[in-house]
Structure 1
Amino acid sequence: MIKCHLAKLMGEKKYKIIDVARATGLNRSTITLLYKESAQKVDLETIDKLCDLFGCQVGELLEKVE
């Protein structure tokens, strides 16, 4: 299973979903699915934009857990 740490990253910067959407140009529904960890698939462009926004590596955003 892949765990998404978007909610944690957003909490650290006190960002709301709309803040992330405006800063990245991503659709709010895409961010909401990642925030709630219910996304089934994610584009590489989405991951890239989120990593740029939060100044993190992919491994800090996504983690494989058993």
Structure 2
Amino acid sequence: MLKCHLSKIMGEKRLKVSDVARDTGINRGTVTRLYNETATRVELEVIDTLCTYLNISVGELLEQQ
């Protein structure tokens, strides 16, 4: 199982789901599902785009539990 820290990271950077979706081109629904930790499948390209946009590593975004 993976834990997604997107909501925590976005909160620290004071970003909204709509900001991230607009700036990255990622579908708003996808960002929302990651934010709420309800996503069951995510493309690697989305993870890469989010990490680049937020200037973080994959390990900071996702944690194995």
TM class by smaller structure = over 0.9
Task: State the alpha-carbon separation in 1 of the partners of residues 5 and 23 from structure 2.
Answer: 18
Match of 1:32? Answer: 32
User: How does 1:1-66 map onto structure 2 within 5 Å?
Assistant: 1-65=1-65
Q: CA deviation at 1:39?
A: 0.2
Amino acid at match of 2:53: L
What TM-score, normalized to structure 2? 0.97
- Runs ≥4 in structure 1, deviation > 4 angstroms? none
What TM-score, normalized to structure 1? 0.96
Amino acid at match of 1:18: S
Pairs aligned (count): 65
Extract unaligned runs of 5+ from structure 2: none
Extract unaligned runs of 5+ from structure 1: none
Percentage identity across aligned positions?
A: 58
Superposition CA RMSD, Å: 0.5
Q: CA deviation at 1:23?
A: 1.0
Q: 1:23-48 deviations in whole A, cap 9, x for unaligned?
A: 10000000000000000011011001
